[in-house]
Amino acid sequence: MACAGRKFAGQQIGFVEEVRDYFDVDIAKGDPDRYRQAHTRLDAALGGTGPLADRMAAHRRADEIPPARLEACIHAFSSALRDRVRADYPLPDTETITYEVVTDKPWSGFNYYLGDYRSTVAVNADLKQLMSNLPRLVAHESYPGHHTEHCRKEAGLVHRHGHDEQTIFLVNTPQCLMAEGLADLALYAAIGPGWGGWAAEIYADLGLRFDGEKAEAVAEASAALATCARTRR
């Protein structure tokens, strides 16, 4: 709150300081050798010859979901993940999600939790949605990500234990950081290793060809690039 107040008052706050004040973590540049190792893994996962950046760009282009098929893919993964999650983690019988395909947004996907175990999840069609990323996006926003977290908090912490403060979710706080981190792990929590093959079967039912094994290898190598930076607190 203090950091937000300083910004509203017109103070210039550096990015590192802003992250520290909002999320209670310190960030720093990562070790270049770890980035090189991640690039080596990505090179092996992509295969082929030529500059790594060019091969990655070609891989992404081939991985794009046809816009006309995006909504069907979203619903297919939501249904599959919902069945998997509900089998292991109790959810209210009345929980439901409405999906919207939107444009002109700064994010890839967004969960609007409406209360009463209902969410609207918006997916941005402007940002070329990739077959390798859509399962993670749906898991992140829905099952077992943000929607699941909100439903279980409302059922348990709010209605059972009377913690009405859990109906308020503040952005740019440590709570927000934890929620995003948990949601980033949602696909791995629900499916785990082998999610590429699982996703390939769902895409096949929709008439789309997807190399799940390669996608999983590329995703793991790319994730190493995102986790090289050091944090301390």
Q: What is the H or E stretch that residue 26 is in?
A: strand 26-28
Q: The pTM is what? A: 0.92
Instruction: Give the mean pLDDT of 141-165.
Output: 96
Please report the pLDDT score of residue 30 as a whole number. 83
Choose among 159, 22, 80: nearest CA to 150: 159
Q: Is residue 123 pLDDT above 70, yes or no?
A: yes
| Confidence band for 28, pLDDT divided at 50, 70 and 90 | confident
The gap between the terminal CA atoms of the chain, to the nearest Å, is: 19
| CB atoms closer than 10 angstroms to residue 57 | 11
Q: Is residue 150 pLDDT above 90, yes or no?
A: yes
| Confidence band for 20, pLDDT divided at 50, 70 and 90 | very high
Determine which of 11-20, 42-51, 217-226 has the lowest per-residue pLDDT on average. 217-226
**What are the pLDDT digits (tens) for 58-91?**
999 999 999 999 999 999 999 999 999 999 999 9
Q: Is residue 231 pLDDT above 80, yes or no?
A: no
Please report the pLDDT score of residue 1 as a whole number. 84
Partners of 149 in beta bridges: none
Share of the chain above pLDDT 70, in %: 97
Domain range list for the chain: 67-232
**C-alpha distances out from residue 82 to 183, 196, 214, Å:** 15, 18, 25
Choose among 159, 148, 168, 25: nearest CA to 97: 148
The amino acid sitting at 125 is: A
Please report the pLDDT score of residue 3 as a whole number. 93
Task: Report the distance separating Cα 179 and Cα 169, nearest Å.
Answer: 10
**For residue 227, what are the contacts with CB-CB under 8 A and spacing of at least 6?**
none
Please report the pLDDT score of residue 227 as a whole number. 67
**What are the pLDDT digits (tens) for 102-120?**
999 999 999 999 999 999 9
Q: Is residue 194 pLDDT above 80, yes or no?
A: yes
Local structure of 147: helix, strand or coil: helix
Task: Report the distance separating Cα 38 and Cα 228, nearest Å.
Answer: 9
Asked if residue 123 lies in contact with residue 137, where contact means CB atoms within 8 angstroms, the answer is: yes
